[in-house]
Amino acid sequence: MRDNYKSNLKQRIIVTPDKHFPIHDQSAINVVCKAIEMVKPDVYIDLGDTGEWGHFSNHYWKGRNAKPMEDLIPLLDKDVSDVNKGMDQIDKSLDIADVNERHFIQGNHEVWLDNFVIRYPYLSHYRTEEALKIKERGYEYHPYNRKKLLKKGKLRFTHGKYVGKYHAWKNLDIYGKSIMYGHTHDLQRHTKTFDGGPTISAWGLGCLKDIEKDEDWLGGKLINWNHAFAIVDVFKNGNFNVQIVEIVKGITVLWGELLDGRK
């Protein structure tokens, strides 16, 4: 049975959602890195919002005095440095696991970089692809929310933009195909079966962000955010199997092995 599974397997993929470096949960990132080295996937997919990019955001400057450009540049450079250091952690594990196929899906937070460059075109090095060294890192780049999504077998991947109580239902209703996304920071799945047709599903994948650090911004609002990532097995006929790996306080169990990201 196990040999038959392997013989029909086309690709094994690890998918990670919103990390928001440097406002990330380090223990959760450690778990992801250990999982990559353990699983040795064929493909890695980053669903975007990899950086927080606070100083590029209009939200940050609301109610604050805008800084002159000579004072702003060091803050922007620190954002770029922090996010690259975060990606370096994951890339190191991808290198160890010899993962050559890597995809970066731009999130709405990364769009802030591109919008900044539209306002200040002479600072083009802050564009997402350049700031994160996407080509140098060996990633294929997928801009934010395009109609043609990254597709592996019969499953599609996007950063996501729909929120609300039933966001998985919304994504499935809009796209009409099986899809995996981030953006909402919580875990959710919705499934639909058509008469005479296949069953399709939408997965909201949670996040890898430090949830406690957003407490002030959220004004004490209770949230249902979860730390998680996914392992997706894609078979030669396009069918796939999704395993959601939830991380609780820096710990998970994967394939019978304890992965402790706290140490």
> What's the pLDDT score for residue 1?
55
> What's the pLDDT score for residue 121?
96
Q: Which of helix, strand or coil describes residue 210?
A: coil
Token pair in block for residue 37: 């080295």
Residuewise pLDDT in 10s, the chain (263 residues): 567 787 899 999 999 999 999 999 999 999 999 999 999 999 999 999 999 999 998 777 777 787 888 989 999 999 999 999 999 999 999 999 999 999 999 999 999 999 999 999 999 999 999 999 999 999 999 999 888 999 999 999 999 999 999 999 999 999 999 999 999 999 999 999 987 778 999 999 999 999 887 666 566 665 789 999 999 999 999 999 999 999 999 999 999 999 999 98
> What's the pLDDT score for residue 109?
97
> What's the pLDDT score for residue 2?
66
> What's the pLDDT score for residue 60?
75
Closest-CA residue to 24 (of 54, 59, 56, 44): 54
**Residue listed under structure tokens 């890597």:** 102
Token pair in block for residue 186: 């919580």
CA–CA separation, 260 vs 177, rounded Å?
A: 35
CA–CA separation, 206 vs 141, rounded Å?
A: 22
> What's the pLDDT score for residue 214?
66
Which contacts (CB < 8 Å, 24+ apart) does range 73-77 have?
Answer: 76/116, 76/126
> What's the pLDDT score for residue 19?
98
Q: Is the pTM of this model over 0.85?
A: yes
**Total count of residues recorded for the chain:** 263
